Structure 1
Amino acid sequence: MKTELIKLYEENPDPRKIEHIADVLRRGGIIIYPTDTIYGMGCDIFNPRAIDNIKRLKDIKTKTVDFSFICYDLSHISEYTKSLDTATFKLMKKALPGPFTFILNASSKVPKMLHTSKKTIGIRVPDNNIPREIVRVLENPIITTSIHDEDEVLEYSTDPELIYEKYRDKVDIVIDGGYGNNVASTVVDCTEGEAHVIREGLGDLSDFL
């Protein structure tokens, strides 16, 4: 496998490159891409072979995985979750796009391979045009799982060129969207109505409460 390194600008990602990336995903490819927090690895959520390949790359041996995925906007989210209560919907409308992962109850449309034992999913709408445009053109959400660093100080890899060197010949595309952040998203559990922060990250939920 020859890995492509594709440069994209967050303010105005090249539509032709976005279409090419979406086409690679449709064929079962794996990409590494920037978000508004850390760099993520992903594939089309409806491609079981690609998901299995990501699990192998990350040495995940369990059958059920807490993968989150990226949607384009709130209307996209509604397809994959059970009906949201008014308070949760209002909170997400304020906070997204943004550096949050919302844990929600999954609808029957979510592939079974993505369900946890609690039938929940993590949803992201990052404040970055690159992954959102990929999802919009693909017309499906993409998996998001973090790219870790071997450095004892840095938990997440931030330099796209170093990420490319590490994953060269292991993934199909590495997107260079500039340096990434080293702080992950804030994870908010909304499965029981009231929002609870279960991991503090880049997003401050109190700004929206």
Structure 2
Amino acid sequence: MTEVVSVDPQHPDPEIIARAAEILREGGLVAFPTETVYGLGADGLNPVALARLFEAKGRPATDPVILHIVDLEALPQLAREIPPAAWTLARRFWPGPLTLVLPKQPIVPDLATAGLPTVALRMPAHPVALALIRAAGVPIAAPSANRFGHTSPTTAQHVLEDLAGRIDLILDAGPTAIGVESTVVDLTRPVPTILRPGGLPREALEAILGPVAVFDRSVAGPAPAPGMLPKHYAPRAEMVVLIGSGGWLRLRLRELAIRYLQEGYRVGMLIAEEDQPAVADLPVEIAVLGSEGDLEGVARRLYPAMRDLDARGPDLILARDFGTRGLGLAIRDRLIRAAGGRVMKAEDSP
């Protein structure tokens, strides 16, 4: 049976944290909040605990996990050949929604890295997460606390829906602040490369590093970081993402919704506030993500809205994207992966 314990998000009870840390040291699994999404924690240096984590999530061993640390002193213990850029980014953005991919030290189990020679590291910016890592005394492997491939959890209830009976404890500190996972940056390449867009925008990285590449999703081979599979974060319903902007996008949203309704689909829609007048008269289920100008709010609402809409039972979810500036890049990435790459451009839709 999975126990759920409430904790203060800013000042967690030391006794609760100590108990959760003991579970981790003994090879157990604890779900806990970060500033991005809830993570499913295991001792990142214990292959047996890692194997249990992969089993609980149904996660394939070919998908690496991120090791979460609590201070910069842990960086050289887990990574080698650390370039100056890594120290610069760590000092600037940690704790925060940034994951660095670096050559790994031998102490890191192969299961944590999917057999790759690199390790993904981050320092989360949540008091509960930091207290738990510090109390455990080990780096904590923590992919999102949900069944593999499903929509990520931003509340303890989401975790319970996916993992009840599969893990030992859930620390409930309320909803997460950012709502999408960390930005993963590979510093082993000639040009720093974003493997997974996330809570730290590309623009913030480029202000420090200069040009930053974005990984080409069409490249074949094993995923070099978590969350990079063609289909991920997915609801149960089919999903289609429409890319475009302004009035043209809203026109196509309406046309597509009507088309799918005529084909007999029960239709759900993930839209912006500005889109509502264009579809308000249609017999569809709607989840409003927020305003086009509030990407932080859209990111925070994305996964809860996707889960809520999916629970209403549509056959197909039609989602609009929010561009590529700021958090828009991460939002688009999550939507496209949730749709398994099923994308239409507004100018191409019927």
Question: Conserved in 1, the CA contact under 8 Å of 2:36 and 2:97?
Answer: yes
Deviations 1:49-98 (A, max 9, x none): 22111111222343x54111100021112210003122221122101111
Question: Conserved in 2, the CA contact under 8 Å of 1:67 and 1:114?
Answer: yes
Question: Counterparts in 2 of 1:38-117, with a 5 A limit?
Answer: 38-62=37-61, 64-117=62-115
SS at match of 1:101: strand
Query: Cα distance, 1:112 vs. partner?
Result: 3.0
SS at match of 1:122: strand
Query: Cα distance, 1:193 vs. partner?
Result: 6.0
Q: Could you state the TM-score of these two structures normalised by the residue count of structure 2? A: 0.54
Give me the whole-angstrom Cα distance separating, in 2, the residues matched to 1:106 and 1:61. Answer: 20
Give me the whole-angstrom Cα distance separating, in 2, the residues matched to 1:205 and 1:14. Answer: 36
Question: Conserved in 1, the CA contact under 8 Å of 2:79 and 2:102?
Answer: yes
Question: Counterparts in 2 of 1:1-209, with a 5 A limit?
Answer: 2-62=1-61, 64-148=62-146, 155-180=151-176, 181-192=178-189, 194-208=191-205, 209=208
Query: Cα distance, 1:7 vs. partner?
Result: 1.2
Equivalences, count: 205
Amino acid at match of 2:162: K
Amino acid at match of 1:128: H
Give me the whole-angstrom Cα distance separating, in 1, the residues matched to 2:14 and 2:21. Answer: 10
Question: Conserved in 2, the CA contact under 8 Å of 1:68 and 1:143?
Answer: yes
Structure-2 change in CA distance of 1:66 and 1:32 (3 Å): same
Question: Conserved in 2, the CA contact under 8 Å of 1:88 and 1:195?
Answer: no
Is 164-173 or 190-199 further displaced after alignment?
190-199
Structure-2 change in CA distance of 1:166 and 1:60 (3 Å): closer
Is 40-49 or 134-143 further displaced after alignment?
40-49
Amino acid at match of 2:122: R
Question: Conserved in 2, the CA contact under 8 Å of 1:149 and 1:157?
Answer: no
Amino acid at match of 1:146: S
Give % identity. Answer: 27
Query: Cα distance, 1:203 vs. partner?
Result: 0.9
Question: Conserved in 1, the CA contact under 8 Å of 2:35 and 2:179?
Answer: no
Q: Could you state the TM-score of these two structures normalised by the residue count of structure 1? A: 0.88
Give me the whole-angstrom Cα distance separating, in 2, the residues matched to 1:96 and 1:146. Answer: 19
Amino acid at match of 2:9: E
Question: Conserved in 2, the CA contact under 8 Å of 1:40 and 1:144?
Answer: yes
SS at match of 2:143: strand
Question: Conserved in 2, the CA contact under 8 Å of 1:68 and 1:144?
Answer: yes
Amino acid at match of 2:70: Y
**Of the two, which has the highest radius of gyration?**
2
Give me the whole-angstrom Cα distance separating, in 1, the residues matched to 2:52 and 2:168. Answer: 11
Give me the whole-angstrom Cα distance separating, in 1, the residues matched to 2:4 and 2:32. Answer: 10
Structure-2 change in CA distance of 1:61 and 1:118 (3 Å): closer
Structure 2: any 5+ residue segments left out of the alignment? Answer: 209-350
Give me the whole-angstrom Cα distance separating, in 1, the residues matched to 2:80 and 2:192. Answer: 16
